[in-house]
Chains A and B, each alone.
Chain A
């Protein structure tokens, strides 16, 4: 069986503690993953500065070339993995088998990762607002306009506490190494695949192995990574987000509560945007934080809900190898059942109606021996106070909410991606000023249409580097 060691600054470490990763449908063991203990992480973090020092010896221009090469290796090469090797096809197959994501979605996520690596130069140029990148290496330097700039790394490494079920999020940490910051990865228990494959691709492309650690392990390994790395990106539910609110060292990613707001000026032509609504809710199995979980409009909401429901209501699970499989499985026992129970409770509230039910043959919840599915669900909420008006679940589910345009910004709450379909300039300005919205699309743009030249949930450069004053000559008298 595939056996995967802990990686301690590039060195494989075989632990006595191991955890099997199993096929979610058959229970067949897929791999044995060696487990770190918190002490190992504590011991290794004492050498974290070495990772940054080694990366700073490589010019960023060279690191950008390494990223391109790593993208190619990640996409095409048969790479070592523990005591075996893995082709890209095997990677998709095993990722699907442990996470419940259909294979074609896994392949799609690989392409996203590779795209980010291939275009890293443009991405860093955009995210740094055109900063000469050697300033990140040296700590200071002059911009073309002659102004002295200084940037200081908050931490020699970025810690990542990664999720088990959303392979798409790995794109977020790809810019770290070319910014000359080391990586400390704590993979999710069902998704060790991307961290290990990317590590191998980076190292074969030229990143020194001493710059990356990979620590699969129990919860206390994750909490030690979070505690000891000066900067941490982690993934979890709303409870996790709330826990780290106000902690500048931690960027917590959770549910997005992404929404589409349809302005009064275009709402009578809502049918023109039906594809956009469906795709925003439904693509990638509805699993991403950038999938829409709400469609808000002042009128026609029942018709909108019905039209979306008619398109996605009949959809059910198919084989993971189906090139068009629409739904991801829930592999954690009881998770789908719990969500289904919460939805049923929400449907008991006044003014809340499930619209998909009439287009679906059978129940929303499909319970199988080793996994469960939730079938697409569209709910109509006649008022904004309903619990389901502002919820998010990891499958194609959205609420179509009736709300006056003037009240929308007061009611939508925190929103990762907001697509506002409108040409109303006054409202557009209010949307631009709304601080509860992170990524704003004004116009008919899918919520899940990412532009990699734009920051996602905070600019990673600002998270890792602090702009500060620096002088190496006395300023002019004034």
Chain B
């Protein structure tokens, strides 16, 4: 059982750290010497001065909502803080099935993010030095580089199998289901080959649908994820439901394979799942990598108002790293606000699912 006796104190300390972190990063992004061209220009339209009027996290409500359409198109270097110019830079994309994708420039954040995440993984399930299988979308997404760095950071090597979700969405929209199946089988074929090639792979990143397909293929061949040598899986990228979590643990993997749900994107980084506790009944609760990113569950009609614990609202995201500043962005998801946890002493969110008003128009779960 978790000892929660110090939780209130930890929550208080973290709130103070978050306020300090907010002040530091607002100073950085709105200082003419260090800030990005985008924010320095944007600040001219504000009716407040970020440098003097933002002194704590709550003050971020003074900013207008960030619109992610701002991320479409170039020049992307308008996002790079002046102080970081000249450093090797990556660009990661989201979306892109139709029109211009949203892109984010990154220098080191993905590494920092995954190193922090690495510290949350249990070593017995993700042995240091073990090799990894990265089974999911790579291309312009950050996942391949991030998982590869995670493996390297833990002393292993990552083997990668790509899946192009943009192609899958196109096939689905054209009703070419047989081709989707063929493509999925092609992806799983490659994973099977790598797992059978003696690479000592013990850890894996994949999405729920790909994990399901891989586990079923192994079963068809008289084996299992466990028999293939996998001890730990971190899983995310698409919708991960409570029911699927239970199905994965009870039927797909068996009790000896560890699985942790994650929730992330290129703007926030990687939110971690609350450690499995039978008392939670497979409820999935995510905690953002605070203070670098913060999740708030806000009222559907008033994004400045946080809902009560256990209540439903829209997921609002804040990112504050030296590379990126997002002072409040309404995610395309909704969920329930959850109480802090000893491991993550700040607000969490559970039951994450597509925001009900836009869910109907979204193609979910293509990979």
Considering only residues 198-252 of chain A, those with a C-beta below 8 Å from chain B are 220, 223, 227, 243
Considering only residues 222-242 of chain B, those with a C-beta below 8 Å from chain A are 241-242
Main secondary structure of the interface of A (DSSP, over half): helix
Cβ–Cβ contact B247 & A37, under 8 A? yes
Cβ–Cβ contact B242 & A16, under 8 A? yes
A-chain residues with CB within 8 Å of residue B246 when the two chains form the complex: 16
Interface hub of A40, A42, A223, A227 (most chain B Cβ within 10 A): A42
B-chain residues with CB within 8 Å of residue A220 when the two chains form the complex: 365
Query: Is A147's beta carbon under 8 Å from chain B?
Result: no
Cβ–Cβ contact B212 & A39, under 8 A? yes
How distant is the Cα of A39 from the Cα of B177 in the complex, in angstroms? 18
Cβ–Cβ contact B251 & A43, under 8 A? yes
B325 to chain A, nearest CB (A): 38
A-chain residues with CB within 8 Å of residue B220 when the two chains form the complex: 46
Q: Which of B181, B241, B282 is A37 in contact with, Cβ under 8 Å?
A: B241
B-chain residues with CB within 8 Å of residue A43 when the two chains form the complex: 216, 247, 251-252
Cβ–Cβ contact B243 & A243, under 8 A? no
| A247 and chain B: residue at smallest CB distance | B178
A189 to chain B, nearest CB (A): 15
Cβ–Cβ contact A40 & B175, under 8 A? no
Cβ–Cβ contact A37 & B365, under 8 A? no
| A40 and chain B: residue at smallest CB distance | B247
Cβ–Cβ contact B365 & A227, under 8 A? no
Query: Is A333's beta carbon under 8 Å from chain B?
Result: no
| A242 and chain B: residue at smallest CB distance | B175
Q: Which of B181, B243, B365 is A16 in contact with, Cβ under 8 Å?
A: B243
Interface size classification for chain A: 10 to 19
Considering only residues 25-40 of chain A, those with a C-beta below 8 Å from chain B are 35, 37-40
| B215 and chain A: residue at smallest CB distance | A39
How distant is the Cα of A42 from the Cα of B208 in the complex, in angstroms? 14
Query: Is A318's beta carbon under 8 Å from chain B?
Result: no
Considering only residues 6-54 of chain A, those with a C-beta below 8 Å from chain B are 15-17, 35, 37-40, 42-43, 46
Considering only residues 98-137 of chain B, those with a C-beta below 8 Å from chain A are none
Interface hub of A16, A17, A220, A243 (most chain B Cβ within 10 A): A16
Write out, one digit per residue, whether chain B residues 249-272 have a CB within 8 A of any chain A CB (1) or not (0).
Answer: 001100000000000000000000
B309 to chain A, nearest CB (A): 20
Query: Is B219's beta carbon under 8 Å from chain A?
Result: yes
| B248 and chain A: residue at smallest CB distance | A39
| A217 and chain B: residue at smallest CB distance | B243
A247 to chain B, nearest CB (A): 9
Query: Is B355's beta carbon under 8 Å from chain A?
Result: no
Query: Is B244's beta carbon under 8 Å from chain A?
Result: yes
B-chain residues with CB within 8 Å of residue A46 when the two chains form the complex: 219-220
Cβ–Cβ contact B216 & A42, under 8 A? yes
Cβ–Cβ contact A39 & B219, under 8 A? no
| B245 and chain A: residue at smallest CB distance | A16
How distant is the Cα of A113 from the Cα of B45 in the complex, in angstroms? 70
How distant is the Cα of A37 from the Cα of B242 in the complex, in angstroms? 11
Q: Which of A37, A223, A227, A243 is B244 in contact with, Cβ under 8 Å?
A: A37
How distant is the Cα of A472 from the Cα of B243 in the complex, in angstroms? 51
Cβ–Cβ contact B212 & A15, under 8 A? no
A-chain residues with CB within 8 Å of residue B244 when the two chains form the complex: 37, 39
A-chain residues with CB within 8 Å of residue B219 when the two chains form the complex: 46
Considering only residues 261-293 of chain B, those with a C-beta below 8 Å from chain A are 281-282
Q: Which of B175, B242, B251 is A39 in contact with, Cβ under 8 Å?
A: B251
Q: Given A220-B365, A227-B181, A37 and B243 touching (CB < 8 A)?
A: yes
A-chain residues with CB within 8 Å of residue B241 when the two chains form the complex: 16-17, 37
Cβ–Cβ contact B212 & A42, under 8 A? yes
> 18 other contacts beyond A37-B241, A223-B177, with CB at 8 A cut-off?
A16-B242, A16-B281, A16-B282, A17-B241, A17-B243, A35-B243, A37-B243, A37-B244, A39-B251, A39-B252, A40-B247, A42-B212, A43-B251, A43-B252, A46-B219, A46-B220, A227-B177, A227-B181
Q: A residues near B, CB below 8 A?
A: 15-17, 35, 37-40, 42-43, 46, 220, 223, 227, 243
A sample of 5 inter-chain contacts (CB < 8 A) reads A15-B243, A39-B247, A39-B251, A43-B251, A223-B177
Q: B residues near A, CB below 8 A?
A: 175, 177, 181, 212, 216, 219-220, 241-244, 246-248, 251-252, 281-282, 365
Going nearest first, the 8 A-B pairs with the smallest beta carbon separation are A16-B243, A17-B243, A16-B242, A39-B212, A39-B247, A37-B243, A15-B243, A43-B251
